[in-house]
Amino acid sequence: MRRLSALDLFSNNSIKSRRTLSVCATKHQLHNIKTHIEMGAEQYRPPLFSVAPMMEWTDKHYRTVARIISKHAWLYTEMLAAETIVYQQGNLDRFLAFPSEQHPIVLQIGGNNLDNIAKATQLANAYGFDEINLNCGCPSAKVAGHGCFGARLMLDPKFVSEAMSVIAANTDVPVSVKCRIGVDDHDSYNELCDFIYKVSSLSPTKHFIIHSRKAMLNGISPADNRRIPPLKYEYYYALLRDFPDLRFTINGGIDCVDEVNAALREGAHGVMVGRAAYNNLWNTLAHVDSAVYGEPSSGLTRRQVLEQYQVYGDAVLGTYGNNRPNMRELIRPLSGFFYAEPGNSLWKRKADAAFLNKNITTVKSFFEETLVVIPDAVLDSPVAELPSGRKDLFANVRGLLPPPYETRTEEVVVYAQS
């Protein structure tokens, strides 16, 4: 029953009012955008399951193999800085182009300059993304420190609302924010609610992806930021209670599809999975369509997935110039494809050697050289039974909910007048 309510909530909130496009868009771009919207996100299943944006991981090559495995998972780009998009106008295909099969797909951008955010949105329109997301959660020193965006933006909800309004004014697709539950000592539930309330009240943002840890900007690494701050799923579920007109996707610490379904049964509108969808690619994504969306299993085997990916890989190998993408970049998304299977370690060693073999010039020849160490039983079997997740992940979350949020409207009035 809760699964149905999540679907209903998505359909009620996902269709955003159309806005006038920037005059900078060409007629050709306008045609592409109009066609995409008419055929657009409403034709896809809702984002009950999405793969998190991950720098240097969720590139177009990863998204290609992910889409072969799952037809319904929502895919995110790596975060792209608005400045990168603006300053690379002559080379945008390298950063923004993607095969049409990758829909539904969300572009995540980052930045702290409204002009560049507007221009980046305009430039991205021609590529037909299904949603544009603003990164307000990355804790890395390069982004949140020197870059002064990512998670640091949570300390400035007024700017975030302005940025979201600028994005929405320059696109006709839905917009969303990905954030943490707090930053450093600004980590109370009320402070999180203040951020959500101000951004949703002062901009068209109705969808928030909530990483259920706070960000620590005191110099610890992004990896430690995924490990040291405790998960507080109770904050996420309290947001569902206190903001019934908004849509929230839960993220952080959810490692398999069984745990995704546990979050959905508890009432989550959607679930975003990060490293498990990369490090354990097959055993995660191959269950999404059947176990999350209720579709019949595709019956694909690993060998069939690799056959399809080989066609893609050989078609794009070296097409950017300067030997990019190269073989290593195309094979990197498969690093977790044989996770925990016989032959996995030996295959990785064979792959490292094959990268150095000048006679291996195609993805086909790479697979011929390396897959001999993977047993046929691994390559030719459909996905195994759904792995069990932790049974206690959300066991007492309702008993831990913080007190209801009380809106502080006077602060929003001040922001609205400034």
Q: How many CB atoms lie within 10 A of CB 172?
A: 18
In Å, what is the CA distance from 386 to each residue of 129, 252, 257, 285, 314?
31, 20, 8, 11, 32
Six-digit token string for 147: 């870059």
Residue 136 annotated as catalytic: no
Q: Which of these is catalytic: 136, 138, 179, 193?
A: 138
- Closest C-alpha among 104, 98, 108, 100 to residue 55: 108
**Location of structure tokens 């909800």:** 157
- Closest C-alpha among 111, 47, 84, 14 to residue 269: 47
Ranges assigned E (strand) in 240-363: 247-251, 270-273
In contact, 91 and 49? CB cutoff 8 Å: no
User: How many CA atoms within 13 Å lie on the side-chain side of 279?
Assistant: 8
User: How many CA atoms within 13 Å lie on the side-chain side of 123?
Assistant: 24
Which residues are part of the catalytic machinery? 138
